[in-house]
Structure 1
Amino acid sequence: MKTWFITGTSRGFGRLWAEAALARGDRVAATVRDLATLDPLVEKYGDAVLPLRLDVTDKAAVDAAVARAIEHFGHLDIVVNNAGYGLFGTIEEVSEEEARAQIDTNLFGALWVTKAVVPHLRERGAGHIVQVSSIGGINAYANLGLYHASKWALEGFSQALAQELAPFGVHVTLVEPANYATDWSGASAVHATPLDVYEPARAARAARVRPGAVGVPTATREAILAVVDAEEPPLRIFFGRNMIEQATTEYESRVATWEAWREVSEAAHGTPEQ
């Protein structure tokens, strides 16, 4: 039996993964903004669920929630930073308030939870931190710039974190989902005030979405259990089809550009004085 701490469990991946954990006999500290959304889980699984009201942008509240979960269950094994949302809008369209809110939730929310749990996991010499990133954590598309900024930053600090925690027996995994039929782009998403000049770009992007390209969220339940049960879990894993092809195309393009500009790059090194 494992003990989980999962943020954003009212819907989407957070809810599905909490249900998957509970269904096999694990325990879950589930955080949400509205505790009423957890009533069905509590009714079904009783004391195996610890409902916690939490806004992940509030660092003091995060510290208190983590401490409460550890006090209640005795320890944590798996920590899932799932809370987040999509912000749609070009760089020009996104307001300062929208940009700050996106980074506060998607990046700093995950950072505060991570910082709160690391001393506990490090001292135990075991544990697994799962960061919910995205294909948008390694690639970038028009109209999602600030969302990508939050996920690229999450990827960076998590890769460093994995190296820092490896000597203590604590694992870190970045789960990078494709496009799934969750509220990420629906009710929970934020849309900046659009400018007409960018409508053609938005239409072109929408036209590239292929039939069948949207994943089925429930299919991720067994996948996340396989990841957290692995003796040597991956630092990164895609959830969804054709992700490796997208990543290969992206990185081949980067390498080709770097190669094309190699002469300028190396000239910029200069000649160190002997």
Structure 2
Amino acid sequence: MSKTWFITGTSKGFGREWATAALERGDRVAATVRDLDHLRPLAERYGEAVLPLRLDITDRAAVFAAVAQAAGHFGALDVVVNNAGYGHFGMVEELTEAEIRAEMETNFFGTLWVTQAVLPVLRAQGHGRIIQVTSEGGVRAFPGIGGYHASKWAVEGLSESLRKEVAHFGIDVICLEPGPYSTGFGGDSVRTSAEHPDYAEVRTATAITWTLGDPKATRAPILQLADTDDPPARAFFGTSFEPVAAEYEERLATWRKWQPLALSAFR
């Protein structure tokens, strides 16, 4: 049985690959972008199966209107993918107020607005699946990307509560945590703070060379997450498990070491 998707950020990267994957197998997709010209190839190829929507996800009223239009047009929404977002590079001290507010407005609040807008539709249906694209950076952190991490960790915490609130209504919530991919995150989609000279040595010492995955390789896995009868609360895409597991083992070891202190603070 075909599914109806609502996917944000479909001009390129993951969003474009996932919209294409869904359409290729006969599903229907409400695809949002800031510039509708980016969706012309999909509309020409898949016709009425795709509903192109111009949307700035930081505009809450516009988000609710777009979701209502999509639900009205297709009659249902089965899979909602909160994918739109961008990366921002800058040491914590380098972040300006405008930069961190913009990052949170898109990556966190944009995700929240879409989530709030689709929930009444999914509740009324008695089913639905929300896939929150957080990233490996939603469960671990690197120097120089603190603002980005803050936005993604916020989505993880929001989604953890949401999952427990909406399971009763037949709604699943998955935090999808991709590692580094060649999606433009470190290229033309990234924003950067002005560099403070005092951090030059730190920047050099902590520079990371990413091994990038191919976004096209995620097409089949995203369909599997949409279809499975046993959806995970969270899942990686890529090779993130081993380094993340090591970090969490280190956290557990630290908590255990300091457990006597924790208990001494109780009474």
For the residues of structure 2 that align with 1:128 and 1:183, how far apart are their CA atoms? Answer: 26
User: How big is the shift at 1:46?
Assistant: 0.6
Flag structure 1 segments of 5+ consecutive residues without an equivalent. Answer: none
User: How big is the shift at 1:195?
Assistant: 1.2
Instruction: Say which SS state the counterpart of residue 52 (structure 2) adopts.
Output: strand
User: How big is the shift at 1:267?
Assistant: 1.0
User: How big is the shift at 1:123?
Assistant: 1.5
- What per-residue deviation string (whole Å, max 9, x for no partner) do you get for residues 235-268 of structure 1? 1000001x22112111111112112222221111
In structure 1, give the amino acid aligned to 2:124: E
For the residues of structure 1 that align with 2:200 and 2:231, how far apart are their CA atoms? Answer: 42
Q: Match of 1:194?
A: 195
TM-score, structure 1 as length reference: 0.95
Q: Match of 1:125?
A: 126
- What per-residue deviation string (whole Å, max 9, x for no partner) do you get for residues 94-136 of structure 1? 1000000000100000000000001110111111000001111
User: How big is the shift at 1:203?
Assistant: 2.3
Instruction: Say which SS state the counterpart of residue 185 (structure 2) adopts.
Output: helix
Instruction: Say which SS state the counterpart of residue 94 (structure 2) adopts.
Output: coil
The answer to whether structure 1 residue 261 and structure 2 residue 258 are counterparts is yes
Q: Match of 2:7?
A: 6
User: How big is the shift at 1:199?
Assistant: 2.3
Instruction: Say which SS state the counterpart of residue 57 (structure 1) adopts.
Output: coil
- Counterparts of 1:156-167 in structure 2, within 5 Å, are 156-167=157-168
User: How big is the shift at 1:160?
Assistant: 1.1
Q: Match of 2:229?
A: 231
Instruction: Say which SS state the counterpart of residue 52 (structure 1) adopts.
Output: strand
Q: Match of 1:209?
A: 209
In structure 1, give the amino acid aligned to 2:260: E
State the superposition RMSD in angstroms: 1.0
In structure 1, give the amino acid aligned to 2:146: G
Equivalent pairs: percent with the same residue?
56
Instruction: Say which SS state the counterpart of residue 206 (structure 2) adopts.
Output: helix
User: How big is the shift at 1:209?
Assistant: 2.5
For the residues of structure 2 that align with 1:201 and 1:245, how far apart are their CA atoms? Answer: 25
Q: Match of 2:245?
A: 248
- What per-residue deviation string (whole Å, max 9, x for no partner) do you get for residues 43-78 of structure 1? 100111111110000000000000000111111000
Q: How many residues align?
A: 266
For the residues of structure 1 that align with 2:201 and 2:237, how far apart are their CA atoms? Answer: 30
- Counterparts of 1:33-48 in structure 2, within 5 Å, are 33-48=34-49
In structure 2, give the amino acid aligned to 1:147: Y
Instruction: Say which SS state the counterpart of residue 242 (structure 2) adopts.
Output: helix
User: How big is the shift at 1:188?
Assistant: 1.2
Q: Match of 1:177?
A: 178
- Runs of 4+ in structure 1 displaced over 4 angstroms? none
